[in-house]
Amino acid sequence: MSKAESRTAPLPEAGEASVGLAIAWRATLHRDLMLRLRRPGEVLNPLAFFALVITLFPIGISPAASLLATIAPGLLWVAALLAALLSLDGVFRDDAEDGSLEQLLLSPQPLSVLALAKVAAHWLLTGLPLALMAPLLGVMLSLPAGSYGVLALSLALGSASLSLIGAIGAALTVGVARGGVLLSLLVLPLYIPVLVFGAGAVQAAIQGGNVAAHLAILGALLAAALIFSPFAIAAALRISLNG
């Protein structure tokens, strides 16, 4: 409808184009959030997976609180990372199958910005809930007091980078049938810096180290990912849909 109008209308000025981009961005974000919220199972599955994996560790290793407390930061981070990874495959796959991803490619707005909206939707319904849930699981692993806030904050910051980096892998494997295992193979090595500094922040909070330094580097990683990954995601989507 709006497309037909824009055809007859004179060329939009620079200001109008950026307004159009903002509308398109919000519309993409809104659409993705709505689609995910209408299938709440997909939103809840990573959370259930996160809780389940955390349950496995005391059973597999030892229920002793002292032991669990020392490994809890790493366990929580690794489990949250795997839960986020699990949900990545769906970021572009449904849209690729029903053809709406091709419409994104054809739209006059830059694909990298629209892909960023899809990643933002993924983070809002995966990374953020995982970060909010982590303190609860921290209690179960008898994580020392005083590190719960840092745990949630580091996961919220870090999972945004994870979503951005992971979306590159998801975009590369969207054209591949059963790309799930391949996706984890591509993405997990790239997750290591985030894991190091995320788990490091929680460790620092427990041991009284410098938490701010870790969080600052997590923020720097997020800033770098925000700058570079949209272009890589857009390039990867073009390859997957045309190649």
Partner 1 sequence: MWAFLHKLGSPRSFYAITERWLPPLWLAAVALILVGGVWGLAFAPADYQQGNSFRIIYVHVPAAFLAQSIFVTMAVAGLVFMVWKIKLADMAAAMMAPLGAGMTFVALFSGAVWGVPTWGTWWQWDARLTSMLILLFLYIGVIALRGAFASRDGGARAASVLAMVGVINIPIIKFSVDWWYTLHQTASFSITEKPAMPASMWLPLLLMVLGFYAFFIAVTLTRTRSEILRRESSKRWVRELIEEGH
Task: Give the binding site for partner 1 (CB under 8 A).
Answer: 168, 172-173, 175-176, 179, 182, 185-186, 188-190, 192-193, 196-197, 200, 203, 221, 224, 228, 232, 235-236, 239-240, 242-243
70: closest CA among 20, 173, 142?
Answer: 142
Least separation in angstroms between residue 175's CB and partner 1 is 7
Query: Nearer to partner 1 by C-beta: 133 or 225?
Result: 225
Widest distance between CA atoms in the chain:
72
Q: Are 171 and 92 within 8 A, CB to CB? A: yes
Query: Nearer to partner 1 by C-beta: 14 or 181?
Result: 181
Query: Nearer to partner 1 by C-beta: 71 or 113?
Result: 71
Question: How far is residue 140's CA from residue 34's CA, in Å, rounded to a whole number?
Answer: 32
Tokens (6 digits) for 155? 């996961």
Least separation in angstroms between residue 45's CB and partner 1 is 25
Query: Nearer to partner 1 by C-beta: 24 or 150?
Result: 150
Least separation in angstroms between residue 172's CB and partner 1 is 5
Show the DSSP H helices in the chain as ranges.
Answer: 2-8, 14-37, 40-60, 65-88, 90-98, 100-106, 111-122, 128-140, 148-173, 180-207, 211-242
Least separation in angstroms between residue 184's CB and partner 1 is 10
Question: How far is residue 113's CA from residue 22's CA, in Å, rounded to a whole number?
Answer: 10
